[in-house]
Every structure is written in structure tokens, then in C-alpha cells.
A and B are shown apart, each in its own frame.
Chain A
């Protein structure tokens, strides 16, 4: 019968006793023998608790009710003895013993598992689930969300009510096939900008609107923005962004601030490259809308020509990677080839022309 020399504590004082532990199938025997004192203590298996953590060499067990009796043993061989008995399985954890046996190799394996799993989640599972979620939200919630974001913004946009009304009439002339009613606003701000909100709101800045020379350019812009709305691009982006960010902060949140910042920036880059695919999709669908409405698709090409001329793209060229709109030259080329490949009939729409002229006066 194998015995293990252990340190025994009785739970009453800090004095340590040298004792011998013998492991039997249904109980443990702790036998204390000191100069003037000897005692045999029986530990029933059901009341023994292991410390439930693996540390090299030291194994400790406690027994009974609070405050516990306690033994410490130096060495790993005690686990081999315990493992011999089925009833004592709860006192040693096979997984832990296995992992600790291989030390650094286990660490490498676990790290690899984490990196692979996180990569899969971050690049594949989470974005897709997030998009599916955004796709399936009820339209009413999308509209409510759009209002929630737009309302506080509205006062800063300096909305021109008169021009907005004309632009609304212009928009209503187009067959946009949107699930939400499209509301358009002209913001009295001298910038080349326009944006769409989830749930059907589009804002065009006067700085951009004033540069338009014909109705098809304006229709092209609307087509592009409506495509963002119809495909719930903004919502999908927010959903992807938030869930990706959440995942990252859960994964790295516990670790440390610096690495979180580094990783957040990498996350931003990934989002930007994703935005570029969304812009391309909106360009394509905007073009299709123009053709369906028998409007000259060249309007789209002209729209980007205007943006290109006005922004002196040299500066932008240098930041090719961090520009979220695909480079204007690239976009113009893409639209050109697309138009060439399409069959289209364009007619002059009197009503649109009339409204466009009214808008520009």
C-alpha cells in the first residue's frame, strides 16, 4: 500500500502536522505521528474536495465543513494513485493533467485554437450573422431607427424647406421600387456631400446640388442613395461594425488597453474595405434604376466626373487605401464599361426637366 507524506492542518490552528496519507478505494486515511501525539483521521470520499486547480508539484485537498481540514502534498504522483479508483474521479481532472503534461506545447495548441476560432468568427460568422440580422429587422423598426438618428441631426443641417419640396416632387416622379417612402431634404451647406439614412431619408447638400447641369445627374445620385437604402447598407454596416467591435472587445477587453487600440484600428480598415464593396453595389443598382426609368445612364458617369473635377483627386489618389469611396477614376471606368455593356433607351422626361429647372433657380 503506497503512502504519501503530507502536511496536515486541522482547521483550528495554523500549526502544521507531518502525516502519512493512504488512499483506499472508499476512504482516505491520514495518520499523524509526532513525538507526543498520534492520531488516525478517516476522510470519507464524498466529503473530500480537491483544490480544483493544477499547480506543478503542490496538490492540496480539503475535507468536511467550513473551516476545512486541509492537506498539502509535494508531487504529482498522488494523482496516479487517485486515478486508480473510479469513485475518486472527481478529485482529479484528466483534461488539466493532460494539458499540463505537455506544458508549452499545450499553450501553443490552445493559442492556435483561439486564433483560428476568433479568425473564423470575426471574418466569417459574425459579419454574416450581423447582416442577416439587419436584413430581417422589421421595416417599421428600420424607419424608427432612421428617425432616431436623423432627428437630432436635422437642426444642424440647415434644411431648405422650399427646395426640399421641389426635390421631393422630382423624386416622386421616379420609379424607385423602395419598401419605404423616400423622403428627401436639401441641406443648405456648401459641401460636395449627400447621404442616406436607414428607413428612407436622403439628404443632399446644396454645394453638390448646385453643380448639377441636368436632371439625369440628379437622378443618378438619387438612384445611388436609394440603392443604399433598399439594400439596408447603413444598417448592415452598423450591425457588422457593432458586432465585430463587441466581439473584439470581449476577446481583448480583459487583456489590455494598448492592444485593444491597435486591434480597433485594424478593425476600422476592414470596415473601410467593406464599405467600398457597398459603394460599388449602390453604383450598379443606381445605374439599373436610371435605365428602368428611361433616364440617360451617362448621368451617373457625369455625377462622378463632377465629384472628380471638384475634389482635385490628386490628394485622394495618395490615400487610395483609406478612402471609403472607391476611387473616382476607378468608379468612372467601371460605370463606362457597364453602360457600354447595357442596352438602354433614354427619353427626355419633360416633368423631370421642369422640376430640375425649378430646383436650380
Chain B
């Protein structure tokens, strides 16, 4: 057995992506996507993910995304078949000229979407986890689809009944569930934030941003980022490791304002630079604190899950899980 040495207690991530490098990937893929009328999109998405994983470094080694364009393409086809079927049904219902039929088709459309979302989240988290690795160790999501359904349906229902107030608790519950069922080799995770805190952040943030004509929104954004990141906890051999997100309000201001300026004055052509700036902001400011041994993570049970449909659904709804 090796002697496990005492590691320093702070561990940082590096983001080494460069705007120019990503711009080449971005524009090359944009051309291919346009020329193929969108069919190239799955490959473009995979290359983007691979690039951002491979430019994120922790302890001298990069992350790897193992997904393939073919996997994402298959998911993409599934999503399109489902949505075309739903839209055909919806259009048939609303153009039939009968009010009852229109109402039923509209209702069914929304019910179908509500039923798809939990499935999509489950599939997406499982796919992304299975396809993400660092030093050859993979993530694994072992959540249960039925439990996810229950959580989401209760969440949707209570959110509607409470006119959106419950949304904060729902989101936190969802995060908790995902993190509790996530593993990286033999590391496990948790999310320790609570819905009440998130709700108060929103309430205070919206109120103060409103009366300060938006100036407070930078403090508000910082609180939101910190809530979502600092409440993540990692466990290695039952030892708790905390995350810190050390950004100042000035950093948030710089990120948002410069991104906006870049986008407006280039009509979007600066988008690859904006993406790399934003990722650097999030990745390079995360610090892991605690007793942590990066050489002692063991691959555990594996989940070779190649169905990217969930991930594609979330793309369709424009939802980002993490």
C-alpha cells in the first residue's frame, strides 16, 4: 500500500480554453450546420462539449467528454419524431374548428410536455455523467426514473398552485436529488442549500434590483451563483469537502457588462469569446476546500449509457441542468 500523503487543503480548477481556438470550432461547425440544414448539429454539440471538457484542468489533468455525434444524433431523431407528432396533433386539433377538440389537443400537448421533462432530466443527467471522465474515472448517475417523476410532478403542481412561489423549493429538491444520486468513482456528492434561502435570495434580489433600477442585480447574480455552487458538497471516504466560489460584485459586473457589449457591437460574432469568458469565470473561481486525495479515487460500478435523447430534449426546451 502507498502512504497517503497529507494534501494541501485548497484545490483549484483551471480553464485553459481560448477564444480564438473555440471560435475556429464554433464557426467551422456553424458553417457545417447551415450547409446540412441543421443535421450536423449533434456533431457540433459534441465537439463543443469535448473542447470545454478538454480545456478544464484539475490537478494537472483534463476532463474528457466521451459522447459521440452518432449517439446525440440518434437522440435528436427521437426528439424530433415526438415533437413533430405532438405538433401535428396540436395543429389538427386547433384547426378542426371545434372548440372541444382544440382544447383537448392543447391540454394533451401540455400534459405530454410535462411528462417528457422528468424523463429528459433523468436521461440527460445519466448520459452526461456516463460520458464524462477525469483521469479515466467516470461520473455515474444512479437516480430512479419513478422518483424523478414523482418529484417533478409534485413540483410542477405545487409551483402552479402557489403561483410560482414553490419553484425555489422545487429547484433545490431537484438539485439535491441529482447530486445525491451522483458518483464520481467512489466520490459522492450532495447539495445542502434549502428552498427557503433560494426564495429569499430571489425575493430580496428582485425587490432591491427594482428599487435601485437594476444596480443591485449584480449582487443578486452573485448571490445566486454562490448559492448554486457553494452548496455543493463532495465526500471522499466519508470526509466532507466543501466548494467555494470566490467572486466579487465587480467580477460579476465585468462579466455581464463586457459580454453584453461584445455581443451587441459585433452582432453576435463575438459569441465564442463570450462563451469562453463566461466559462472561465465559473470554472476558474471554484475552489475545493478540505482533505482531498486526487490519486485515491477508484472506479466503481459503471453505467455505459449511450442514449442522448434526454440531453437533446433539454436542448429543445432550452434548459440547462448544471
- Chain A residues with CB under 8 Å of chain B are 7, 9-16, 51-56, 58, 60, 62, 66-70, 72, 95, 99-100, 103-104, 106-107, 110-111, 113-114, 117-118, 148, 250-252, 255-256, 258-259, 262-263
Distance of A99 Cα from B136 Cα, bound (Å): 29
A-side contacts of B154, CB under 8 Å: none
Distance of A274 Cα from B297 Cα, bound (Å): 65
A-side contacts of B299, CB under 8 Å: 11-13, 67
Contact B267 A263 (CB under 8 A): yes
B-side contacts of A67, CB under 8 Å: 133, 136-138, 299, 302
CB contact under 8 A between A113 and B21, given known A9-B136, A16-B295: no
9 smallest beta-carbon distances between A and B, as pairs? A9-B136, A110-B27, A14-B297, A53-B50, A255-B268, A259-B268, A14-B135, A70-B136, A11-B136
Q: How far is the CB of B182 from chain A (nearest CB, A)?
A: 16
Contact A250 B50 (CB under 8 A): no
State which residues 254-311 of B face A: CB under 8 Å: 260, 263-264, 267-269, 271, 274, 294-299, 302, 304
Distance of A263 Cα from B267 Cα, bound (Å): 8
Contact A56 B27 (CB under 8 A): no
Number of A-B contacts (CB under 8 A): 140
Contact B47 A53 (CB under 8 A): yes
Contact of A256 among B16, B27, B263 (CB under 8 A): B263
Distance of A302 Cα from B18 Cα, bound (Å): 66
Contact of B297 among A13, A69, A103, A252 (CB under 8 A): A13
Contact A55 B21 (CB under 8 A): yes
Distance of A66 Cα from B64 Cα, bound (Å): 13
Q: How far is the CB of B261 from chain A (nearest CB, A)?
A: 10
CB-CB nearest in chain A for B298: A13
B30 at the interface (CB under 8 A from A): yes
B321 at the interface (CB under 8 A from A): no
State which residues 1-29 of B face A: CB under 8 Å: 16-18, 20-21, 23-25, 27-28
Contact B54 A60 (CB under 8 A): yes
Distance of A58 Cα from B31 Cα, bound (Å): 26
23 contacting pairs across A/B (C-beta < 8 A):
A7-B61, A12-B298, A14-B134, A14-B296, A14-B297, A15-B296, A52-B47, A54-B25, A55-B21, A62-B66, A70-B135, A104-B20, A110-B28, A111-B27, A111-B269, A113-B27, A114-B31, A252-B268, A255-B271, A256-B274, A258-B260, A259-B268, A262-B264
Contact of B137 among A14, A99, A110, A114 (CB under 8 A): A14
A-B contact sample (5 more), CB < 8 A, given A13-B297, A95-B28:
A7-B60, A9-B137, A13-B298, A58-B54, A259-B267
A-side contacts of B298, CB under 8 Å: 12-14
Q: How far is the CB of B265 from chain A (nearest CB, A)?
A: 10
Q: How far is the CB of A219 from chain B (nearest CB, A)?
A: 36
Contact B34 A107 (CB under 8 A): no
Distance of A251 Cα from B51 Cα, bound (Å): 22
B-side contacts of A13, CB under 8 Å: 137, 185, 295-299
B159 at the interface (CB under 8 A from A): no
Contact A56 B260 (CB under 8 A): no
Contact of B16 among A55, A60, A255 (CB under 8 A): A55
B95 at the interface (CB under 8 A from A): yes
Contact B64 A15 (CB under 8 A): no
Contact of B31 among A16, A56, A117 (CB under 8 A): A117
Distance of A263 Cα from B260 Cα, bound (Å): 16
Distance of A69 Cα from B62 Cα, bound (Å): 14
Contact A107 B24 (CB under 8 A): yes
B55 at the interface (CB under 8 A from A): yes
Distance of A129 Cα from B269 Cα, bound (Å): 27
A-side contacts of B302, CB under 8 Å: 66-67
Distance of A12 Cα from B55 Cα, bound (Å): 23
Q: How far is the CB of A111 from chain B (nearest CB, A)?
A: 6
A-side contacts of B138, CB under 8 Å: 66-67
B38 at the interface (CB under 8 A from A): yes
Distance of A51 Cα from B56 Cα, bound (Å): 14
CB-CB nearest in chain B for A252: B268
Contact B31 A113 (CB under 8 A): yes
Q: How far is the CB of B57 from chain A (nearest CB, A)?
A: 8
CB-CB nearest in chain B for A151: B97
B-side contacts of A7, CB under 8 Å: 60-61
Contact B135 A106 (CB under 8 A): no
Distance of A72 Cα from B57 Cα, bound (Å): 12
B-side contacts of A56, CB under 8 Å: 18, 21
Contact B295 A51 (CB under 8 A): no
B-side contacts of A55, CB under 8 Å: 16-17, 21, 51, 54-55, 62
Contact B268 A51 (CB under 8 A): no
Contact of A262 among B18, B23, B267 (CB under 8 A): B267
Binary flags per residue of B58-76, CB closer than 8 Å to A gives 1, else 0: 0011101010000000000
Distance of A106 Cα from B22 Cα, bound (Å): 11
Q: How far is the CB of A257 from chain B (nearest CB, A)?
A: 9
CB-CB nearest in chain A for B37: A250
CB-CB nearest in chain B for A148: B95
Distance of A259 Cα from B261 Cα, bound (Å): 11
B-side contacts of A15, CB under 8 Å: 135, 295-296
Distance of A7 Cα from B57 Cα, bound (Å): 14
Q: How far is the CB of A144 from chain B (nearest CB, A)?
A: 10
Contact A255 B61 (CB under 8 A): no
Contact A10 B31 (CB under 8 A): no
Contact A110 B136 (CB under 8 A): no
Q: How far is the CB of A255 from chain B (nearest CB, A)?
A: 4
Distance of A47 Cα from B16 Cα, bound (Å): 29
Contact B267 A72 (CB under 8 A): no
B-side contacts of A95, CB under 8 Å: 28
State which residues 223-271 of B face A: CB under 8 Å: 260, 263-264, 267-269, 271
A-side contacts of B64, CB under 8 Å: 51, 60, 62, 70
